[in-house]
Amino acid sequence: MVTVHLKTSKHSEQQYTLTVSNVKDRAHNPNTIEPNSTFQYEYVDVTKPTIVAVTAPVEDSVHVTFSEPVEKSSAENVSNYSISGGVTIESAVLDADLITVHLKTSKHSEQQYTLTVSNVRDRANNPNTIEPNSTFQYEYVDVTKPTIVAVTAPVED
């Protein structure tokens, strides 16, 4: 038996039919597969989502990017996330891209943090759940420029 690996576009979870023609064996007088030979197979997603990026663009916001589309209710459950350093999570909103979750948090200080994620599921027919206590290190760097909020002219005596 010989295995051939085919590079394909992404599969959806469903039944497929592979049709093969013109494949020959390595015999001295090569034998050719029957034209339009078919094989039925089903793609089943067994890949767990992972965290691929975490950014803190402003002091009270964290963006979490997953490796694949995730399921809304698990992605938006704040109890599935924790951040080191006493940062609390107020809300979680799944972006329309289905891979980014925007966390509204308490204020960060400029330092390193660890985000821990559990119980977030992908969108497979039989959902795969991220590894429990998956972590990702990130740093908050304040890049917000100061702005003028008020000007007063003191009264001279």
* Distance, CA of 50 to CA of 87 (rounded, Å): 22
pLDDT above 80 (res 46): yes
Query: Mean pLDDT over residues 13-25, rounded?
Result: 94
* Secondary structure class of 24 (helix, strand, coil): strand
Query: Mean pLDDT over residues 50-56, rounded?
Result: 98
Instruction: Give residue 157's pLDDT.
Output: 73
Q: Residue 145 is encoded by which pair of tokens?
A: 């420029």
Domain spanning 51-139: CATH 2.60.40.1220: yes
Percentage of the chain beyond pLDDT 70 is 100
Beta bridge partners of 17: 40
Instruction: Give residue 35's pLDDT.
Output: 95
pLDDT above 80 (res 142): yes
Query: Mean pLDDT over residues 50-77, rounded?
Result: 97
- Residue 128 contacts residue 119 (beta carbons within 8 Å): no
Query: How would residue 143 be classed by pLDDT, with cut points 50, 70 and 90?
Result: confident
DSSP string of 6-49? ---SPPPSSEEEEEE-S-B--SSS--BPPTTEEEEEE----PPP
* Distance, CA of 36 to CA of 56 (rounded, Å): 54
Query: Mean pLDDT over residues 53-76, rounded?
Result: 97
